Chains A and B, each alone.
Chain A
Amino acid sequence: MRFGSDSDQDPWQQPMDGSHASGSKAVADGPGTQRTQYPYVTGSSIIALKYKDGVIMASDTGASYGSTLRYKSVERIKAVGKHSLIGASGEFSDFQEILRYLDELTLSDHMWDDGNSLGPKEVHSYLTRVMYNRRNKFDPLWNSLVIGGVKKGPKGEEKYLGMVNMIGTHFEENHIATGFGNHMAIPILRTEWREDMTFEEAVKLVEKCLLVLLYRDRSSINKFQIAKITTEGATIYPPYSLKTYWGFAAFENPAQGAVGSW
């Protein structure tokens, strides 16, 4: 049997002639292969939740090179086919590679033109196989991926929101936040999320999460993108900024009350 063979083509297996310097992020492992050892350029949290008409997803548009804010205007949320959105934190180049896989997948699916199409559940399952197979080769795609979507099934409209990480752990939830968001945003989502939220309410909630992350996650930036997916299709809104307030006493004099010799 050839379970999961769809992801067998290994994009990392380019023949190396030794001219490639080793040691940065990829390490040579015998002739012809290299494996990711640690990430280079990384994106921070993705926030996503189900609401009345579908799924809303949000992130900032930054990508860091270690502690340097290397890119300030990159899209980390993309549409996949007709029914799904994908958002990624982690290594940005690996995300772009995943987008190439998905492009190929959705294109060939579309070309059948037979009335069948991949929904968010199928895309999530496929990506889970890809991520898990790559970790089995000790050559992971260094991302946490969030897949959201809506598709009309035989039992009516079905909303879907799922996540998969770099080693293949995966699950479905009503609201998901990756990276720092899992610590800072999830508590907010747990208390304020409702299944029947309107889009406006969902945007407000998501902005609240993004703002908390902006204050507390040093790698986040004040340029955000929101995307939604409904039965009408995917909409990715242009980037915008949130109003911040830095006048809190604790922000103005953070050392006050801290006892120490310096």
Chain B
Amino acid sequence: MARFEAYENNGGTCVAVAGADYCVVAADTRLSVGYSILSRDSSKIAHLADKCVLASSGFQGDVKALQRNLAAKELLYEHNHNKKMSCPAMAQLLSNTLYYKRFFPYYAFNVLGGLDSEGKGCVFTYDAVGSYERTGYSAQGTGAALMMPVLDNQLKSPSPLLLPARDAVTPLSQSDAVDLVKDVFASATERDIYTGDKLEIVVINSAGSHREFIELRKD
């Protein structure tokens, strides 16, 4: 007999890479449940402020509710403070929003990317209940285990144990970072059945933001 399940995993992978003066945020557009594909073109990325982009995978109902919630709060912030929210501020808000539902969590795995107040690229990576960390790059979602080691190998971020602390941003140029993101997605799509169809890439830099799509394997 069918029983009610409040969660489902709709799959998908999110990646963000920060550079000295840019940030790349990317996610595939496949929406699946079990072995079925519901949609090949369903975005996981929300542009929350002009220098702040959120990519989330997990349960799509929660993901969309979370992203709408944050967008509404960002709008209130804009009204109250007469400016857009900064990326680090959004990072804290996202953490609080997730933790607020600690005992009935949003089943959402988030990567937040953007520029900080100095114009430097930043990436924040989360678990489902709100613990988070600022890093130079991150991957979340069903393909994360396939991508993260490649990113570690290619980006060689300095150990967080080093003193004095060193910048976590990647040394790559913007176009190299975009190419790397395309490669890790193409590779993960080979082995992860929940990742594929199309890749949405958002690049944020001092000039503004730019969005592009590339095709991924559809099988």
A→B interface (CB under 8 Å): 1, 3, 36-39, 128, 132, 135-136, 138, 140, 163, 166-173, 182-183
Give the docked Cα–Cα distance between A168 and B4 (Å).
Answer: 13
List 4 additional A-B contacts (Cβ < 8 Å) besides A169-B10, A169-B33, A172-B39.
A140-B4, A167-B59, A168-B64, A182-B36
B31 contacts A by Cβ under 8 Å: yes
For the complex, give the distance between the alpha carbons of A219 and B96 in Å.
47
Contacts of B41 in A (CB 8 A): 173
- With contact pairs A171-B31, A171-B42 given, residues A135 and B2 touching in the complex (Cβ less than 8 Å): no
Please provide the 3 A-B residue pairs with the shortest distance between their CB atoms, ordered closest to farther.
A168-B61, A171-B39, A171-B42
A136 neighbours in B (Cβ, 8 Å): 104
Contact B61 A167 (CB under 8 A): yes
Contact B72 A169 (CB under 8 A): no
Chain A residues in 8 Å Cβ range of B61: 132, 135, 167-170
Q: A181 CA to B31 CA in the complex, in Å?
A: 17
> When chains A and B are docked, how far (Å) is the Cα of A39 from the Cα of B3?
9
**Chain B hits for A138, CB < 8 A:** 4, 6
Which of B36, B41, B65 has its CB near the most chain A CB atoms (within 10 A)?
B65
Taking beta carbons and an 8 Å cutoff, which residues of B are in contact with A?
A: 1-8, 10, 31, 33, 36, 38-39, 41-42, 59-62, 64-65, 69, 72, 104
> A211: shortest Cβ distance to chain B, in Å?
21
| B7–chain A nearest beta-carbon distance, Å | 7
B72 engages A1 (CB within 8 Å): yes
Please list 21 pairs of residues, one from A and one from B, whose beta carbons are closer than 8 Å in the complex, sorted by A's number.
A1-B72, A3-B69, A37-B3, A38-B3, A38-B4, A128-B64, A135-B6, A136-B104, A166-B4, A167-B7, A168-B62, A168-B65, A169-B10, A169-B33, A169-B60, A169-B61, A170-B61, A170-B64, A172-B39, A173-B39, A173-B41
A95 to chain B, nearest CB (A): 16
Residues of chain B within 8 A of A38, CB atoms compared:
1-4
